[in-house]
Structures are given as structure tokens and as C-alpha cells.
Amino acid sequence: MTVIFLLLSVDEAVSFHELLSDILEETFSLSGFSYFVWVVPGTLFVAFVGGLYLHFLWNLPARTRYLMLAAGGIFLCGALGVEAVTARYVESNGFADLTYAGLATVEESLEMGSAVLSLYALSYVRERTTEPNANR
């Protein structure tokens, strides 16, 4: 999980998925919700990683599992959902207006909010496992 968070942080800093889009756009000509080409491989990556973490999630305490699932859902709403809506908007209207800025703000807020929620969930597990009476 640490590696996933590290990769997401690096991507936020260097915009790797935008660079990937530039490369893919030369090969594929997509439109509409897939206008930002990276969304397609991004969705496949999320499905793959999600499958790898099912066992991990299932073995978490119920409260932590639900918080992590909520954090993942919120992240996906921003990173894939709002991004797809933004792609559709940008295809028709371009990047340089207040609506685009609003969509980008909503996307980033959902992504950062999900990070905060997942950290809260993991800190809850840590707190429960380091208490003397953690089996309550």
C-alpha cells in the first residue's frame, strides 16, 4: 500500500498520467468521456490493483474496511469520474475558463479527501493494535 501511495504522490508532483496521455493521444484518437486517454489504462490499473487488495481489505477490522472502501470510492469518483466529465467538457470548451477550474478543484478535492480518510482509517488500525487492551 505504501508503494501505491508513493506512486500517487509522484504522479501528483510530476503529472505522469498527463505525459502518458500525450503519448497515447498520438496513437489513439478518443473523444467524449475518454478524451483524456489515460483514463482507459487508469481504469484497468485500478481494477488490477483492487483485485490484489481484496484479501487485504477483507481481513481488516470492519470499521477500517468500510473507511478504506469509502476512501477508495471517493478517490475513484475524483480521479476517474470527475476526470471523465472534465474530459468531455474540455473537448468542447477547452481548458481556459472558470468551469474547467471548478471541475479540476472538485477532482483534486476528492482525491485529497480520500487520502485523508484512508490515513484516518489506517491510524485507527494502528491505534487499536498498539493499545494494551486492543482486543476489546
The answer as to whether 136 is a domain residue is no
Contacts of residues 55-63 at CB distance under 8 Å and 24 or more positions apart, as own/partner, are: 56/1, 60/125, 61/125, 61/128, 63/121, 63/124
- Please indicate, yes or no, if residue 135 is contained in any of the structural domains: no
Tens of pLDDT along 26-45?
Answer: 777 777 766 777 777 888 88
Number of structural domains, the chain? 1
Q: How far apart are CA 92 and CA 26, in angstroms?
A: 19
Is 6 among the domain residues?
Answer: yes
81 is a domain residue: yes
Instruction: Please check whether residue 120 lies inside any domain of the structure.
Output: yes
The range of the structural domain enclosing residue 111 comes to: 2-130
Which residues lie below 8 Å from residue 102, measured CB to CB, with a gap of 6+? none
Determine what percent of the chain is predicted with pLDDT higher than 90. Answer: 41
Which pLDDT tens digit goes with each residue over 39-62? 778 888 889 988 999 999 999 999
pTM: 0.77
Q: What per-residue confidence (pLDDT) applies to 134?
A: 53
Instruction: Decide if pLDDT at 97 tops 70.
Output: yes
> What's residue 55's pLDDT?
92
